[in-house]
Structure 1
């Protein structure tokens, strides 16, 4: 038959419903789906009489058996009920009460007296605000945003071989269900942390997670009650701030200066302090040794936990790594968090946490009840990647590449020395520069740069409550070295107010 949209009429109730059989496909299924949808969304209410199978078949131009089959399925599932000598009616399904109103909800009447469609369930206000995501059309000519390692540097062929080896059936059947992840990967991470970061841990101390974000989430689950006070850096990393807020805690911003988090400004009732001491996000400063010792003492005196996020310090361009808080801790006040998403590929989503031993069992249980072991195939491949030395070799190669990009960014910023002061930083994939004139609107400056085809981030966007000190955060992980000079010329022109566009 051709495309039709005949009227389905339940005469006693005045229902006027369209059923369309246009296009190919199973006609029984089409009739079933349209009537079922009409019942679920309230266009057909409990007690409405539907046409006799003979009448509807005639209206639709199909065999009576086609309609009968659809009615039988709807009746078997409880949407329709046949009444002997009377006809077929819409049943009182669980979504509605006997009056046709949505269960437990008040409803508004439309102009013809029929019930309005029930409203949707809405999220808590906490979840209604979402960060905008730039579309492909919004991509600039030069992307200097933060947290973007270069995917082309990753040794994909090596990774493909290691993943293939993990897909043997014998490997797929291995699972300890410990809540910590692959035991082999735990041992390799502990070895890597001891050699590269100076972290004191055995394999049993390491819990593998789906990126650093899950590591933070697990620690929050274990130690934070609703309304607990959590101190975070201001400016700081909003993705973690947002995560912590979902635990119904009270976030308190603490200022950051050239030595890192200002310890004396931490509220005394704080239960957890979240810090990025090796390469503060977003300013890039390293927390001084004196400030680290002061923070550890503060945590002991106030019975608090320190959450140390060492998110990208594999890439270092100067001195030896600053000693992590975890290696200075002698009383179990530091949970050390890291990730391979920055050093390898964001898509891998493998991280880890080394909690204090007093919390380890609880964190393992929190991991077990949320995601069990996680992706053991990826974890097994990463264990081999570390054991065979590929990770160390990749970091050495990538550091050379990033060093060149960083040097070119710094050279470009030197041309703006009268406008910007570069914040000293010897690690990571971005640098920060503060405006000498603190009255500058850095958001407007970033917008002017975007108009010229260069994406940078305004430092003001990373502040919570403190009066922001204007500046720009400039990433170099995702831009080729050859493109950096043009990007920096465009940025300087934008900051000086020179006319131009993103395509000049």
Structure 2
């Protein structure tokens, strides 16, 4: 028994009570104790080097939850009801994975009609928190999350008087308070006026795009997407077997004209083009809507990075100029609050929203009710606006620090970034590939993203990288860019030496 307990390695990421309880529940489920007494509180405390009171509190909580029973002068034991369940005969013969290879198992590689795992996506490192210089996009500095305010809203939502309002779910509807807050506090600031039945809550922009393509895409429908652009958008379209057309962008955003003429749907990121960060001009927005009406296509707007744009007066959403109902608008709280919250929203004609709602019901009914209600309270209490204002100041400082560091250290690189954006799109010297730089940088504790997967063409340029700054501590930016600049110079010299050697040999 002591051997089991010695495997409990306590750390600082959660309370000792929580960790001890978690391990004991695991051991109970594994029938590790049988009908024998658990170690006394004193002995357990000595083994784990914690206070006896900590152990006793854990034991008592497990008694309250029906995992243990306390016998006078004998100690704590696993509840007999659990022992009966654990010792029921197992009628299914247990096999290991290696054993199953000798059986008549299905060949899944032949059965799969689609293989999303084979699609090219941005190289994200799941252990990014361990890197001192995470120049990556789509994550936040966890220290910036408004924890106290979020807890307060959670406390209100979970109070006895409020619990009944959301705990049973909404069937296929959304939290009316959240829809109201998004209408009044978020959409209105983007110049958008929408009725309740024109709004759908989703799990984020990616989920919104998946629902849309599931309804609208097939082999006869062509989607136009920006190039370079959001790779996962191309993938969800291709999974529906729709043709995907690459659309060129310039320093004013998506180019209008002939390239859009044969599209049924045009997907665009006008606030900050993904990934070049260019903001589409008002003239270009109006021209796009005029052509949409003339050529009878629908525009899908991803209002990317709009909420925490630190420019004093960001341009209104493309949807705000829409007079004919030709723009489907998608937004998210991932960038402004947290990607873990998974709250997004769509605005479109009520007839389309009705079908999207029914489709969503087939997938997952609705986003988690507790997250919806807490988010609604977070907005209504003024915490969201306060957080956004604070983050605008933070991101502006980070952007300026990035700009200065890049200009100082990333020599011979071509820089693209619009003030108010969350990243820098950078063309390295053509002698350097982004993948080689990424590998070398990771060894120095620096995470960057290769840009080639964001291009549609097979012969995509290999020298683009994207540097994000939302996740990195501002004090680490300058040092990280200095190291990265040194690596670029080193790889450039190496490439030059190879070229010189090749010339000499020839």
TM-score interval (norm. to shorter): 0.7 to 0.9
Tell me the CA shift for residue 129 of structure 1. Answer: 1.6
Aligned 1:230-269 pairs, distance under 5 A = 230-264=223-257, 266-269=259-262
Tell me the CA shift for residue 266 of structure 1. Answer: 3.1
Q: What is the aligned partner in structure 1 of residue 153 from structure 2?
A: 162
Check whether the contact 2:451–2:465 (CA below 8 A) recurs between aligned residues: yes
* Pairing partner for 2:104 from 117, 130, 138: 117
Aligned 1:210-229 pairs, distance under 5 A = 210-229=203-222
Give the structure with higher Rg (CA): 1
Whole-angstrom distance in 2 between the partners of 1:362 and 1:420: 47
Tell me the CA shift for residue 335 of structure 1. Answer: 0.8
Q: What is the aligned partner in structure 1 of residue 453 from structure 2?
A: 461
Whole-angstrom distance in 1 between the partners of 2:129 and 2:150: 31
Q: Deviations for 1:426-467, whole angstroms, at most 9, x for unmatched residues? A: 2232122334x4554333333333333321223323111175
Check whether the contact 2:409–2:482 (CA below 8 A) recurs between aligned residues: no
Whole-angstrom distance in 2 between the partners of 1:446 and 1:312: 25
Whole-angstrom distance in 1 between the partners of 2:89 and 2:168: 45
Tell me the CA shift for residue 417 of structure 1. Answer: 6.4
Q: What is the aligned partner in structure 2 of residue 413 from structure 1?
A: 406
After alignment, is 362-371 or 182-191 more displaced? 362-371
After alignment, is 234-243 or 138-147 more displaced? 138-147
Q: What is the aligned partner in structure 1 of residue 116 from structure 2?
A: 127
Whole-angstrom distance in 2 between the partners of 1:137 and 1:42: 36
Whole-angstrom distance in 1 between the partners of 2:340 and 2:436: 32
Check whether the contact 1:260–1:280 (CA below 8 A) recurs between aligned residues: yes
Q: What is the aligned partner in structure 2 of residue 3 from structure 1?
A: none
After alignment, is 347-356 or 121-130 more displaced? 121-130
Whole-angstrom distance in 2 between the partners of 1:185 and 1:351: 11
Q: What is the aligned partner in structure 2 of residue 447 from structure 1?
A: 439
DSSP-derived class of the 2:165 partner = helix
- The answer to whether residue 369 in structure 2 is matched with residue 376 in structure 1 is yes
DSSP-derived class of the 2:472 partner = coil
| The structure with more helix, counted as a fraction of residues | 2
Whole-angstrom distance in 2 between the partners of 1:138 and 1:190: 35
Q: What is the aligned partner in structure 1 of residue 197 from structure 2?
A: 204
- The answer to whether residue 117 in structure 2 is matched with residue 141 in structure 1 is no
Check whether the contact 1:222–1:363 (CA below 8 A) recurs between aligned residues: yes
* Pairing partner for 2:143 from 147, 152, 156: 152
Q: What is the aligned partner in structure 2 of residue 94 from structure 1?
A: none
Q: What is the aligned partner in structure 2 of residue 400 from structure 1?
A: 393
Unaligned runs of 5+ residues in structure 1 are 1-22, 44-109, 500-504
Whole-angstrom distance in 1 between the partners of 2:234 and 2:458: 15
Unaligned runs of 5+ residues in structure 2 are 1-32, 35-82, 493-506
Whole-angstrom distance in 1 between the partners of 2:472 and 2:181: 31
Higher RCO (Cα < 8 Å, 6 or more apart) = 2
Distance 1:296 1:440, change over 3 A: farther
Whole-angstrom distance in 2 between the partners of 1:310 and 1:191: 17
Tell me the CA shift for residue 372 of structure 1. Answer: 2.1
Whole-angstrom distance in 1 between the partners of 2:177 and 2:475: 40
Q: What is the aligned partner in structure 1 of residue 294 from structure 2?
A: 301
Distance 1:395 1:284, change over 3 A: same
Distance 1:28 1:476, change over 3 A: closer
Q: What is the aligned partner in structure 2 of residue 93 from structure 1?
A: none
Check whether the contact 1:187–1:203 (CA below 8 A) recurs between aligned residues: yes
* Pairing partner for 2:267 from 268, 271, 274: 274
Tell me the CA shift for residue 411 of structure 1. Answer: 0.5
Tell me the CA shift for residue 128 of structure 1. Answer: 4.2
Whole-angstrom distance in 2 between the partners of 1:323 and 1:28: 65
Tell me the CA shift for residue 139 of structure 1. Answer: 4.8
Q: Deviations for 1:72-131, whole angstroms, at most 9, x for unmatched residues? A: xxxxxxxxxxxxxxxxxxxxxxxxxxxxxxxxxxxxxx9xxxx96233334224334265
Check whether the contact 1:186–1:206 (CA below 8 A) recurs between aligned residues: yes
Check whether the contact 2:133–2:480 (CA below 8 A) recurs between aligned residues: yes
Whole-angstrom distance in 2 between the partners of 1:226 and 1:164: 49
Check whether the contact 1:181–1:209 (CA below 8 A) recurs between aligned residues: no
Whole-angstrom distance in 2 between the partners of 1:466 and 1:302: 29
Normalization by structure 1: what TM-score?
0.72
Q: Deviations for 1:160-214, whole angstroms, at most 9, x for unmatched residues? A: 221232234422356553x441111111101123443222223332211111112
* Pairing partner for 1:316 from 305, 309, 314: 309
